[in-house]
Structure 1
Amino acid sequence: MAHWQYLLILVLCLVLTAPLEFLGPGVYRRPRLLLAAIAPALVVFVVWDLLAIAGGVWSYDPRFVLGVRLPGSMPVEEFLFFLVIPLCGLLTFGAVETLLARGRPARVRIRDREAGR
Structure 2
Amino acid sequence: MKFTYLLINFFTILFPLALSFDKKVHFYKSWKFIWPGLAITGLLFLFWDVLFTLDGVWSFNPNYITGITFLHLPIEEVFFFLTIPFACIFIYVCLNYYVSRELDSRLTRIISNAIIIFSILILVIYHHQLYTRVTFTLLAFLLILLQFIYKARWLNRFYMAFAVVLVPFYIINGILTSIPVVMYNNAQNMSLRLGTIPVEDHFYCMALLMMNVALFEYFKRRSIIFKHA
1:57 shift after superposition: 2.4
Question: Match for residue 70 of structure 1?
Answer: 70
Pair 1:15 & 2:14 matched: yes
Question: Does structure 2 retain, via aligned residues, the 8 Å contact 1:68–1:76?
Answer: yes
| 1:26-73 deviation line (CA, Å, top 9, x unaligned) | 2x33443112332232112100111012222221110111100112x1
Residues paired across the two proteins, number: 100
Matches within 5 A, 1:33-52: 33-52=33-52
Question: Match for residue 92 of structure 1?
Answer: 91
1:100 shift after superposition: 2.0
1:25 shift after superposition: 4.3
1:93 shift after superposition: 1.1
Matched position secondary structure for 1:29 = helix
Equivalents in 2 of 1:41, 1:53: separation in Å? 18
Matched position secondary structure for 1:3 = coil
Question: Match for residue 110 of structure 1?
Answer: none
Pair 1:24 & 2:25 matched: yes
Equivalents in 2 of 1:49, 1:88: separation in Å? 20
Equivalents in 1 of 2:2, 2:46: separation in Å? 21
What is the RMSD of the two structures over their aligned residues, measured on CA atoms? 2.1
Structure 2 runs not aligned, ≥5 long: 102-220, 222-229
Q: Assess, with a 3 A threshold, how the Cα gap between structure 1 residues 57 and 79 changes in structure 2: closer, same or farther.
A: same
Higher normalized contact order (CA 8 Å, seq sep 6+, divided by chain length): 1
The alignment-based identity, stated in percent, is 25
Structure 1 runs not aligned, ≥5 long: 104-115
Question: Match for residue 171 of structure 2?
Answer: none
Question: Match for residue 215 of structure 2?
Answer: none
The TM-score with structure 2 as length reference comes to: 0.40
Question: Does structure 2 retain, via aligned residues, the 8 Å contact 1:20–1:91?
Answer: no
1:98 shift after superposition: 1.1
Equivalents in 2 of 1:66, 1:49: separation in Å? 18
